[in-house]
Amino acid sequence: MKIACLLASPRKKANSSFLARRICEKAAAKGAETKYFQLNSLKYAGCQACMACKTGSEKCVIQDDLADVLDAVAEADVLLMASPVYFGDVNAQLKGFIDRTFSYLVPDFYFADNKSRLVPDKKLIMVLTQGHEDSSSFADIFPRYEFFFSWYGYTKQVLVRGTGLLDEEDVAVKKEVLAEADRAAEEIF
Ligand SMILES: Cc1cc2nc3c(=O)[nH]c(=O)nc-3n(C[C@H](O)[C@H](O)[C@H](O)COP(=O)(O)O)c2cc1C
């Protein structure tokens, strides 16, 4: 099983990356291979709405560092997206990637039953960490992206959330969150 793991935090010792790596390590123990991408160290543009991917090209035509990421995600069985919550959403590094996944949609996606160019039945894990302790804050983020990623054929999607995490690797001592990450790994791999 192949995993594409996107680490969106700019921090070296990020809470979201800590959880993502823990999940991928559990998966590795079961034979899965992970390609990690530190999004913050890559140079890429947001979607340019050029529609080239709907009018002739099967892929995004922008030639920047995200081209390899988009290919790896398309090849992988599992996509793991790990992001801090910034202003009530995923951070800009991850949102830039998500907008470029527009290229995974077929030209007539709006009306097509099968909207996706990707091989079906992929799995997705989303890791979100936030400063707010209250888990009802920002609970809307995952369902919004879950809706769109179901278009791409991610039939199984799991969320791992860490709340009340302010400093780097605060999560390392949060037993409940670590257990949630382990359960997600168990469920997906
Ligand atoms: C620019 C910025 C915006 C943030 N916005 C929010 C927010 O809207 N809600 C929240 O709970 N925490 C917010 N935080 C705190 C982070 O989400 C939190 O510290 C998170 O655990 C960091 O994850 P990381 O260690 O993986 O980078 C913000 C932090 C920064 C730097």
Q: Whose CA is nearest to atom 4 of ligand 1?
A: 86
Q: Please tell me the distance between residue 88's alpha carbon and the centre of ligand 1 in angstroms.
A: 9
- With a 6 Å cutoff on the Cβ, whether 9 touches ligand 1 is yes
Axis crossing angle, helix 175-188 with helix 15-28, rounded to the nearest 10: 40
List of domains in the chain: 2-188 (3.40.50.360)
pLDDT tens by residue, 52-79 = 999 999 999 999 999 999 999 999 999 9
pLDDT tens by residue, 19-32 = 999 999 999 999 99
pLDDT tens by residue, 91-136 = 999 999 999 999 999 999 999 999 999 999 999 999 999 999 999 9
pTM above threshold 0.85: yes
Q: Whose CA is nearest to atom 20 of ligand 1?
A: 130
Mutation to probe ligand 1, out of 85, 160, 170, 173 (largest number of atoms < 8 A from CB) = 85
